[in-house]
């Protein structure tokens, strides 16, 4: 019954490629890569949907998704796109004002942009304090936003300092729109994965997605 229901849902989807992920990944990482598919395969419609929490990304209703975790999604294949590696980032003008300040001073004065994470999965400023400046007693309360895309956008506007995911912010740093404030990132074994059924990965659209998203990732 589950397979039949899944097949029925898929048959009702609009033709083309449907992909779901988080707003920040979609905005700053996914869309530029999907444009490669559009340039060479303009006949393939692409639909991207976003949600802030995994619970709101039903895998059975999309062809594939980019999700954060340990790579284990029962019943689905996963391909690692990038590990969780984060570093504080700021707009150039903010970075200039902070030049020479210690980690302690930055944590206390901010202005820090915090990412709300009800499931406590991603690195936070508290994690940064614990691992990089444990002597710091106070962490600026700053402002809290609900997704990484908003955090990075506010950072680009010069409104504060965010923890930026390397891979997501690399092009912004390379283009000097953001500045990495610390040479030592935090990293974990978690990461962002392309998650899909083995059946989809064997289709034309699936192979195009793998090529576009994994072409530059040797372990994908």
* Residue 94 shares a structural domain with residue 181: yes
How many separate domains does the chain show?
2
CA 17/CA 81 separation, integer angstroms: 19
CA 152/CA 172 separation, integer angstroms: 10
Q: Indicate whether 18 belongs to any domain.
A: yes
Q: pLDDT truncated to tens, each residue of the chain (220 aa)?
A: 444 445 545 545 556 799 999 999 999 999 888 887 877 777 888 999 999 888 899 899 999 999 999 999 999 999 999 999 999 999 999 999 999 999 999 999 999 999 998 888 899 999 999 999 999 999 999 999 988 999 999 999 999 999 999 989 999 999 999 999 999 999 999 999 999 999 999 998 898 899 888 865 555 6
* Residue 78 shares a structural domain with residue 101: no
Q: Indicate whether 51 belongs to any domain.
A: yes
Range list of β-strands (E), the chain: 17-21, 46-50, 64-69, 77-90, 113-115, 143-145, 162-165, 179-180, 186-196
Please give the model's pTM, rounded to 2 decimal places.
Answer: 0.85
Structure tokens at 131: 């691992």
* Residue 72 shares a structural domain with residue 91: no
CATH number for the domain harbouring residue 163: 3.40.190.10
State how far Cα 171 lies from the chain centre: 14
Q: Indicate whether 168 belongs to any domain.
A: yes
* Residue 74 shares a structural domain with residue 109: no
* Residue 183 shares a structural domain with residue 196: no
SS3 143: strand
* Residue 99 shares a structural domain with residue 184: yes
Q: Which domain holds residue 91?
A: 84-188
Q: Indicate whether 220 belongs to any domain.
A: no
């Amino acid at each position: 019954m589950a397979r039949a229901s899944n097949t029925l849902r898929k048959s009702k989807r609009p033709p083309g490629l449907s992909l779901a992920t988080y707003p920040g990944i979609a905005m700053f990482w996914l869309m530029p890569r999907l444009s490669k598919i559009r340039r060479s395969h303009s006949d393939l419609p692409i639909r991207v949907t976003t949600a802030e929490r995994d619970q709101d990304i039903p895998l059975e209703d999309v062809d594939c998704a980019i999700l954060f975790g340990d790579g284990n999604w029962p019943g689905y294949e996963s391909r690692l796109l990038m590990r969780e590696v984060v570093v504080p980032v700021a707009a150039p003008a903010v970075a200039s004002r902070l030049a020479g300040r210690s980690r302690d001073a930055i944590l206390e004065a901010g202005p820090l942009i915090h990412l709300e994470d009800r499931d406590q999965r991603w690195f936070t400023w508290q994690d940064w304090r614990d691992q990089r400046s444990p002597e710091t007693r106070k962490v600026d309360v700053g402002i809290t936003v609900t997704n990484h895309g908003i955090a990075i956008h506010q950072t680009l506007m010069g409104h504060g300092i965010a923890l930026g995911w390397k891979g997501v912010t690399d092009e912004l740093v390379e283009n000097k729109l953001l500045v990495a404030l610390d040479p030592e990132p935090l990293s974990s074994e978690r990461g962002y994965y392309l998650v899909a059924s083995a059946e989809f990965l064997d289709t034309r659209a699936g192979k195009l997605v793998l090529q576009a998203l994994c072409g530059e990732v040797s372990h994908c």
